[in-house]
Amino acid sequence: MFLLKISNPCVLLIVFSLLTLLSTTLQILNLLRAFSKNEGSFSRDQIIAWHEVPDFICHEDVTRIRSRCDFNLEYGNASGYKGPIISGWPPSKSRRIEDYIPRGYEKPGRVFPKNLNLQNTRFLIIIHSRWKSFETRRVIRETWGKTLKALNRNSSYIFILGMTKAPHYLDDQLKEEIQAHGDIFQGDFIDSYNNLTLKSISALKFITKTASWRNKPRRLLKVDDDVFLNVPLLLKTVFSPLIWCREPYLSGVILGNFTPHIVLPGTRRVTKWGVPSYMLSEGTYPSFLSGSAYLFSFATAECLFQEAYHIPYFHLEDIFITSFTATRCNIEIQPLKGIVHWRTRRNRVILAKSFALHYSNKEEMKSLHRKVMELYQLDLDP
């Protein structure tokens, strides 16, 4: 009698639906258990879960940014300005992003990361690095970069560089590094602090328009090359369903209520964070994220790239990208625990609770790497 009942197509459909629902529920419960609070070592099952978060558990109907917001910079008359200037950006220079990075399908750089996994990268780390920081990049590859590749086959990283004005021997050294590792993107702009915004926009264009992804990365992390990443905790954080599914998404250390360091006419020079009136009028910055490390989604990256062309160039990258441009995208920035932005010698670094540590020099990165290996009982040697 029971066999006759389930032979009914309607009953079979109901049974199949219930089994599918049960299977999905069990997968979600396993994921939540894998990402449950644990400050000790991670089990092999948890590590596997880091790269097996299925997208079907997310509501795809919220992935699109539904509306944009008008936002315009207010700044003084450039032609009448007399005072110190931003190096590389005098008052007479065009601030149209289009003049430096065409928004079409033209290639945004000179060198592309040939070894970037375009097939299965679901989480991409974008590392801002100066062209001459050869040793820093080597240390990253040998420490947290090595850990990332070992623990997660669906995660990748690339270095973002600008053009050099280097002696031939250093330029040759960079070419050798590019050829050897295939993890460098070199944009078509001079590598300098005041061109960091161009560096970010070039990276956004490469990621959202140039790269031929089979599956687009769902999450992107921008970091500076003086940031050490505690990879096990980073992966646990990024692949957590509570973060993995949020759209639009832009998070990090929120800085707010900052008044621009307006440069007065009598000032001799512009400080690192100084802002002449021809770049921005007096006022208060909208809240923004520290540029040392911020996490965002691919959908957010697409909008940030598009809306950057509607704003005059501004040399402070974190403010331009995560405040001005994010405002035009109508994206509310979110706080993200685990990033140590301000550090002093008195700070006690708690690796079990921190996945990004700013102001880490090369020797400290090596030391922190050893501590991470011990904390999570990892052995990456074959």
Least confident residue range of 235-249, 270-284, 324-338 = 270-284
Domains of the chain: 65-375 (3.90.550)
Residue 235: pLDDT over 80 = yes
Length of the chain: 382
276: left (phi over 0), alpha (psi -120 to 50) or beta: beta
pLDDT at 62: 47
Q: In this predicted model, which residue has the larger pLDDT, 271 or 125?
A: 125
Instruction: Give mean pLDDT, residues 104-109.
Output: 84
Q: Tell me the C-alpha distance between 28 and 47, whole Å.
A: 15
pLDDT at 77: 82
The DSSP line for 124-142 is EEEEE--TT-HHHHHHHHH
Q: Tell me the C-alpha distance between 193 and 190, whole Å.
A: 10
Question: In degrees rounded to 5, what are phi and psi of residue 32?
Answer: -60, -40
Q: Residue 148 has which token pair?
A: 């990332």
- By three-state DSSP, how is residue 146 classified? helix
If one counts every other C-beta atom within 10 angstroms of the C-beta of residue 285, the result is 18
